[in-house]
Amino acid sequence: MAQGFSKQNQSTIEGAYRFGEFELYPRDRMLKRNGAVVALQPKAFDALLCLVCSAEHLVSKEELMKILWPSVHVSEANLTNTIVSLRKIVGREAIRTVSRHGYRFEMRVNSEPGVARATFERFSRAKELTRQRSVETITLARDLLWTCLAEDPGFAPAWAWLGRCSWFLGKFVGNSQSTKDLTEAAFERAFGLDAELASAHQFYTLVQVDSGHAEKAMRRLFARMAMHPADPECFAGLVQVLRFRGMLVESLQAHRRAVELDPLITTSVAHTHFALGDYAAAIESYSGRAAYYLDAAAWAALQKDDHAVALLRGRLARMALSDLVSALMRSLLAVLEGKQKKAVRLMEEAIDYVNSYCID
């Protein structure tokens, strides 16, 4: 099937990054707007290419300076002037300044070189679905990603996002051996294709922590931070890793650093607030996400049992849940209803599930 898709898409393989009314051709070092060539100085082209390649992610000033002036010492004003000139062409809102740290390209990239446009569109849709964090949307995203990879088995980001979807569905729906194997294989493939792929590093942290390898995750993230000290995704990963190692204050500091680098980033800080006993902050940080049990537990800790019970009953009635999450939510509900023996039995079931989840 993959070979058939590949032949079908040969004529539609993209040679450019497309965003808005622009097309950026790396091989030809050319920028077009509505089909017309736009004059661009070499340094400005290199800066734009770097930003577009990392669209929606922070690119530090240091990284840009190394790319633009690899063996020459220049002042930061040169970089500022380059960014100003780019904004005059692509629009001021297209390049966001992250104060003191760097820049982020804000326009949505609709295609990239080497990937068929239809494949990239499916990939973009899968990412949007995944960010909604429900079982239904992530199942749809997984199926879209399988299609992307059938069309283009060498598309590394699709493997990373497939690994994330598989991990999520294993945790929240059911974790068979085939799900474990797919999760590991997807990340192995992603890293094999691109060892520096930011999304693969970000998502694999979740898998390592859940499978009892938080220390390995921490070492990997620290090694990556040595190369990318202003990478907000690394700090977001450390929020979870440090919490699992009992370093709650450091976990909170990692969150603050991640948000400083990228105000729009999402971390697991709500769980850190809960572990620190700051239940109001946990509820606030958890709001707006696909909710399971954490906010209900926080409301219970604030002695708002009726509200916690209503949340749990509603979610248990309408949500598709894995054995683990269902056991956690039903055990909390049993405690709030005064059914202590039932709660203990349910937690024993949850422990059995956790033991089955570990990936060696």
How far, in Å, CA of 263 to CA of 104, rounded?
11
Among candidate residues 79, 111, 143, the one where a domain is terminated: 111
Residues 145, 3 within the same domain: yes
Spans of the chain below 70 pLDDT? 1-12, 174-175, 288-290, 322, 352-360
User: Are 51 and 26 found together in one domain?
Assistant: yes
**Which pLDDT score, from 0 to 100, does residue 352 have?**
65
pLDDT at 175: 63
Residues 36 and 97 in one domain: yes
pLDDT at 82: 94
- Predicted pLDDT of residue 180: 85
205 and 148 share a domain? yes
Range(s) of the domain holding residue 354: 291-360
pTM given for the model: 0.75
Do 206 and 86 reside in the same domain of the chain? no
pLDDT on residue 229: 84
Provide the domain count of the chain: 4
Do 25 and 93 belong together in one domain? yes
Q: Could you tell me if 284 and 255 lie in one domain?
A: yes
122, 159: one domain: yes
> In terms of domains, do 4 and 152 share one?
yes
Same domain, 243 and 299: no
Same domain, residue pair 59 and 146: no
What is the number of alpha carbons within 13 Å of residue 324 lying toward its C-beta? Answer: 18
Same domain (yes/no): 103, 123: no
Pick from 184, 211, 238: which residue ends a domain? 211
Residue 79's pLDDT is what?
Answer: 93
What pLDDT does 134 receive?
A: 77
